[in-house]
Amino acid sequence: MVLGIFVGVVAVVYVSRVTSVSAIVEHVNTTYDFVIVGAGTAGSVLANRLTEDGKHTVLLLEAGGEETRHPNVYVPLLSNLERANGYDWGGTSKDYDDWAANGSVGWNYKQVLPYFLKSEDFLPESQKSSVYHSKGGPLPVSNIDVPFEPLADVFQKSLAQMGYKTIDCNTREALGMCTTQVTTDNGVRQSTANTFLKPVMTRKNLHVATFAQANKVLISNSRAVGVEYLRNGRKEVVGARKEVILSAGPIGSPHILMMSGVGPAPHLLQLNIPVHSDIPVGSNLHDPMMMPIRVLINESYTITPARATSVISKLKYKILGSGMLSSSGGIVGTAFVNADDKSKTKYPDVVLSMMATFPELWESGRYNYHKYLAKEFYATAIQNQNNSEGFTLWIQVAKSSSSGTMKLKSTNPFDHPDIDPEYLFALRLIRAKPFQLKLRAKVLTRPFSKCAKHKFNSDPYLECLVRNLAVSSNNPSGTCKMGAIEDNSTVVDPQLRVKGIQRLRVVDASVMPTPVTGNTYAPVVMIAEKASDLIRKSYNKEAKGQKRQDKNVQKKPKR
Ligand SMILES: *[C@@H]1O[C@H](CO)[C@@H](O)[C@H](O)[C@H]1NC(C)=O
Ligand SMILES: *[C@@H]1O[C@H](CO)[C@@H](O)[C@H](O)[C@H]1NC(C)=O
Ligand SMILES: *[C@@H]1O[C@H](CO)[C@@H](O)[C@H](O)[C@H]1NC(C)=O
Ligand SMILES: *[C@@H]1O[C@H](CO)[C@@H](O)[C@H](O)[C@H]1NC(C)=O
Ligand SMILES: *[C@@H]1O[C@H](CO)[C@@H](O)[C@H](O)[C@H]1NC(C)=O
């Protein structure tokens, strides 16, 4: 499953970059205060924060490990698009106000903002470049040795002609275009491990077990007491004195919950799993879809395999950590626009990301969209043109309105979205003058056999194309919905505690009651930061360290 690979690989990046350090253990103790499942984004933050004051012991269980690592995982260019989209979090304050208004007490924008800032403040100096705070100033890509500055320029000018200005995507402003933090994002992507996990791998109270695949939470008398996991082909058990925390992602966490007997009773009973808590785990699954548009250009401004893998490019990346290979998925810029609303309301309905390459060109990439797309359509089209110079415009519906259900033995639960207006908007954008004059941009299109029954490029044809070629954005959320306890659609309370089971929390994108606009990376860091505080507060009431922590959180309200 795409997500599984994604989560696994992210975790592997985290873990493998720190293998020389001590916390990775062969021998796992019998009990810890906290057992965290999943060394992804949230798990790394939690492992750091919960071991910070030295008062608790923590075991981080991670299914991945060094052996599964793929060289390309380290190369940001070849990593996947969602992460490439970067660290934009402030886009839409309404997302969080909606959460709070609907039962997630304590999670409105004002209340979560300190936690966004906290993790941002935590980033190393090298990443606090002006990019985060650029307010439509010089393009951040301009002085970096990647060739695609002209693309950013054209993207920006064309959007400007349609009424969208350049914004700082880390502010409350919701509509407009932000150029991607080319270097910064690279840093962020690689450094969630570096930032949160690596520096703490020397802490005596932290253990990390790799290749440990959690099967289920052990529950006794409605209380989580430990985790059963597989390691080296053997079933192992570890005890949790205080809590078990699931951070295995929006597919992994509900999976483990259901395996543990926490989920919709009829479904569990079907599979002969004894029910500990009958709550709607796995419902409310959201995963925005994306539609790529390929555009050929007649200029050398893009990232081609030949250029990116040239000796110079490799050296730059190895020695300086810069150059094309350091560019995150080749993302040039991201625009939050309102394609379907003539009145231009304040909130975006589509996110457009410009990527300075065709993902199909990257056969060797671990994240190769090739297999998820219609090979016939893109691969052949590109070969036929004998022209790899071009960009991909990704169209992502800002918020998917439809939701699916994740079950233990599920097939694809996603509906294909209706993204016609957005698709047409993108086509219009490419026809704008700057694209035409400067790049001679030409949308790559050819008759697609599956849609041959419709007139080429007619509305029904385009609709058919979208149905066949849209892909999951890999930003699923919502499968362990947070909200009021008495709301029977919720799985966790606003403290992220699983309903009906003591000492068990879920901390990852699963808890999002409604999806956030754009990608989930930064919001997940925020959720983990807030969760760490909630958890520590409930166990450390007397701790002095806590005051210091609170101060840190409230400091620097820069925006
Ligand atoms: C609040 O939750 C209820 C129950 O799940 C749902 O029907 C409603 O649409 C939600 N409202 C908002 C504003 O999200
Ligand atoms: C693991 O157990 C040993 C022996 O009891 C103990 O000294 C150590 O602190 C424990 N480590 C953690 C991280 O719990
Ligand atoms: C590309 O540019 C070259 C040089 O400007 C020109 O001769 C050629 O016709 C162009 N090709 C296309 C397909 O526009
Ligand atoms: C495209 O490239 C292939 C292989 O390099 C070559 O055989 C073919 O003739 C080229 N086609 C065109 C139209 O240039
Ligand atoms: C949730 O509660 C409402 C009203 O209390 C009820 O109508 C609905 O059927 C319940 N849904 C589920 C899934 O139990």
**Euclidean distance between CA atoms 55 and 536, whole angstroms:** 10
Ligand 1: residues within 6 Å at CB? 98, 101-102, 489, 514
| 70 three-class SS | coil
- pTM recorded for the entire structure: 0.77
Question: Using 50, 70 and 90 to split pLDDT, how confident is the model at 19?
Answer: very low
Q: How far is the CA of 466 from the centre of ligand 1 (A)?
A: 29
Question: Using 50, 70 and 90 to split pLDDT, how confident is the model at 333?
Answer: confident
Which ligand is the nearest neighbour of the Cα of 442? 3
| 467 three-class SS | helix
Q: Looking at residue 194, what is its pLDDT?
A: 58
pLDDT tens for 107-140 read 999 999 999 888 766 554 444 443 333 322 222 3
Q: Looking at residue 516, what is its pLDDT?
A: 87
Q: How far is the CA of 354 from the centre of ligand 2 (A)?
A: 49
From atom 14 of ligand 2, which residue's Cα is the shortest distance away? 57
Is 141 among the domain residues?
no
Q: How far is the CA of 488 from the centre of ligand 5 (A)?
A: 6
Ligand 3: residues within 6 Å at CB? 298, 440
Per-residue DSSP letters for 382-430? HHHHT---EEEEEEEESS----B---TT----PPPP--HHHHHHHHHHH
* Burial grade of 119 (CB within 10 A; 0-12, 13-18, 19 or more): buried
Is 328 among the domain residues?
yes
Structure tokens at 215: 């099967």
Residue 35 Cα to chain centre, angstroms: 23
Question: Which atom of ligand 1 has the smallest separation from the CA of 483?
Answer: 2
Overall domain count for the chain: 1
Q: How far is the CA of 102 from the centre of ligand 1 (A)?
A: 6
Structure tokens at 178: 């932000």
Question: Which atom of ligand 3 has the smallest separation from the CA of 440?
Answer: 14
Ligand 2: residues within 6 Å at CB? 29, 32, 57, 205, 207
Residue 98: pLDDT over 90: yes
From atom 13 of ligand 2, which residue's Cα is the shortest distance away? 205
Q: How far is the CA of 299 from the centre of ligand 3 (A)?
A: 9
CB atoms inside a 10 Å sphere around CB 172: 15
From atom 1 of ligand 1, which residue's Cα is the shortest distance away? 102
Q: Which residues contact 372 (CB under 8 A, 6 or more apart)?
A: 2, 471, 472
Is 550 among the domain residues?
no
Is 499 among the domain residues?
yes
Among candidate residues 417, 399, 425, 426, the one with its CA nearest the CA of residue 466: 417
Question: Which atom of ligand 2 has the smallest separation from the CA of 204?
Answer: 13
Residue 258: pLDDT over 50: yes
User: To test ligand 1's pocket by mutation, which of 102, 107, 279, 286 has the most ligand atoms within 8 angstroms of CB?
Assistant: 102
Which ligand is the nearest neighbour of the Cα of 280? 5
From atom 4 of ligand 3, which residue's Cα is the shortest distance away? 298
- 195 to each of 45, 76, 139, 422, 432, how far by Cα in Å? 9, 16, 26, 37, 41
Q: Is the dihedral of CA 132, 138, 142, 143 positive or negative?
A: negative
Q: Looking at residue 227, what is its pLDDT?
A: 98
Q: Are 310 and 325 in contact (CB under 8 A)?
A: no
Q: What is the mean pLDDT of residues 403-418?
A: 62
**Euclidean distance between CA atoms 174 and 352, whole angstroms:** 13
From atom 13 of ligand 3, which residue's Cα is the shortest distance away? 298
Helices (H), strands (E): how many in the chain? 17, 16
Q: For 447, left (φ over 0), alpha (ψ -120 to 50), or beta?
A: beta
Is 458 among the domain residues?
yes
The residue type found at 55 is K
The residue type found at 540 is N
Q: How far is the CA of 80 from the centre of ligand 4 (A)?
A: 29
Q: What is the mean pLDDT of residues 411-433?
A: 70
């930061």: which residue's tokens?
Answer: 529
User: To test ligand 3's pocket by mutation, which of 297, 298, 384 has the most ligand atoms within 8 angstroms of CB?
Assistant: 298
Q: How far is the CA of 437 from the centre of ligand 3 (A)?
A: 12
Is 228 among the domain residues?
yes
Q: How far is the CA of 364 from the centre of ligand 4 (A)?
A: 22
Is 151 among the domain residues?
yes
Question: Which atom of ligand 2 has the smallest separation from the CA of 31?
Answer: 14
CA atoms within 13 A of residue 379's CA, in its CB half-sphere: 12
Beta strands, E only, 152-279: 176-179, 206-209, 213-220, 223-231, 234-246, 262-263, 277-278
Question: Which atom of ligand 1 has the smallest separation from the CA of 98?
Answer: 13
Q: What is the mean pLDDT of residues 312-341?
A: 76
The CATH number given to whatever domain includes residue 400 is 3.50.50.60
Q: How far is the CA of 477 from the centre of ligand 1 (A)?
A: 16
Q: How far is the CA of 440 from the centre of ligand 3 (A)?
A: 9
Which ligand is the nearest neighbour of the Cα of 102? 1
Residue 190: pLDDT over 70: no
- Average per-residue pLDDT for the chain: 76
Residue 24: pLDDT over 70: yes
Question: Which atom of ligand 1 has the smallest separation from the CA of 514?
Answer: 14
41-51 and 2-16 helices, crossing angle to 10°: 40
Among candidate residues 206, 45, 185, the one with its CA nearest the CA of residue 118: 45
Is 547 among the domain residues?
no
Q: How far is the CA of 298 from the centre of ligand 3 (A)?
A: 6
Question: Using 50, 70 and 90 to split pLDDT, how confident is the model at 406?
Answer: confident
From atom 2 of ligand 2, which residue's Cα is the shortest distance away? 29
| 543 three-class SS | coil
**Euclidean distance between CA atoms 359 and 365, whole angstroms:** 9
Residue 555: pLDDT over 70: no
Angle (CA) 187 190 194, round 5°: 100
Residue 490: pLDDT over 80: yes
Task: State which residues form the domain around 166.
Answer: 4-123+146-541
Alpha helix (H) ranges present in 221-308? Answer: 249-259, 265-270, 305-308
Question: Using 50, 70 and 90 to split pLDDT, how confident is the model at 148?
Answer: confident
Q: How far is the CA of 414 from the centre of ligand 5 (A)?
A: 24
Q: Looking at residue 294, what is its pLDDT?
A: 84
Q: Is the dihedral of CA 308, 313, 319, 320 positive or negative?
A: negative
Question: Which atom of ligand 1 has the smallest separation from the CA of 513?
Answer: 14
